[in-house]
Structures are given as C-alpha cells and as structure tokens.
Amino acid sequence: MQWICVIGHAGGSDHRGQSPTLQAIQAWCWWESMETYVKSYVKQCIHCLSTAGRTEPRPYGPALHATKPNEVLYFDYLALPEDEDTHSKYVLVIKDDFSGFVEGAHVKNAVIDTLACVLGAQHHFVTAYCPWANGTWKLSIGCC
C-alpha cells in the first residue's frame, strides 16, 4: 500500500494534498480503510511538511550508527549527464557509516536484493528528492 500511496501522492504531479491523492488512487484501486491510510500517509510526508513551513517529524531516540565496518551502509543513486561511451546516467553511491568510506559503482538491483537477503540487511524506504530524509551520503559527495 505504501508504494501505491507514493505513486498517487507524488507520481507525475509533485506532491498532491490529501483529497487529490485519494482521488488519484481511487481511480484505479480500492481497499478497506483506504481513506484513513492515505490521509495518514500524506500527513507524514516529510517533503510536504517541510514545504508547508512546519517542522519535520523525527522519530524519538538516537540515530542509527555503526560500531564496526559494513554494519550500516547508506546508498542511493546520483544522477549525472549521460556518458557518451556507456550511455550510463546514474552512479550508485555507497557510504560506510563507521569508516566514512565512500564508493560509487553501478550494481543491478537483483545483486543488491540477493546481498541484502544473504546478509540479513534491512533497506529503509526514503522518499526520492528529499535530501533531508537521507542526507548522510549526500554530504559525502558534496550535494548539500
């Protein structure tokens, strides 16, 4: 349901309010308690909260940090102009929280999925185009 809300809320027309998001989703699907779920999702959208001039909600407690190498990895794609030789446009940037080591490479999603499964890793969903939601690696490459 979260992915449906992402598409209905931010897909193709920036971040819509509660009613337009609900209408967009209702046009092609329905589930019980849909209205409550969608309203809750839109209310918690960090991008919408920050542009509305209100404070950003943060979970209580300390941020997750590593105590040894490769325990916590941050990763995201960096968009670049298309390479003439390889026609690549994106670089996967990975940062180790413990050492601060940064590496950029392109890896197929299936490889990452298999690696996460084997290592018992957890991937946290972060909204695209929201540097404040996942700023640790972006600071490493000078985006912010």
pLDDT of residue 25 exceeding 70, the answer is: yes
Confidence tier at 59 by pLDDT (50, 70, 90): low
**137-140, Cβ contacts within 8 angstroms, sequence gap of 24 or more:** 137/74, 137/75, 137/76, 137/93, 137/94, 137/95, 137/102, 138/76, 140/93, 140/95, 140/100, 140/102
Look at the chain and count its residues. 144
Q: Please tell me the pTM assigned to this model.
A: 0.37
Q: For 107-121, what is each residue's pLDDT tens digit?
A: 556 666 777 788 777
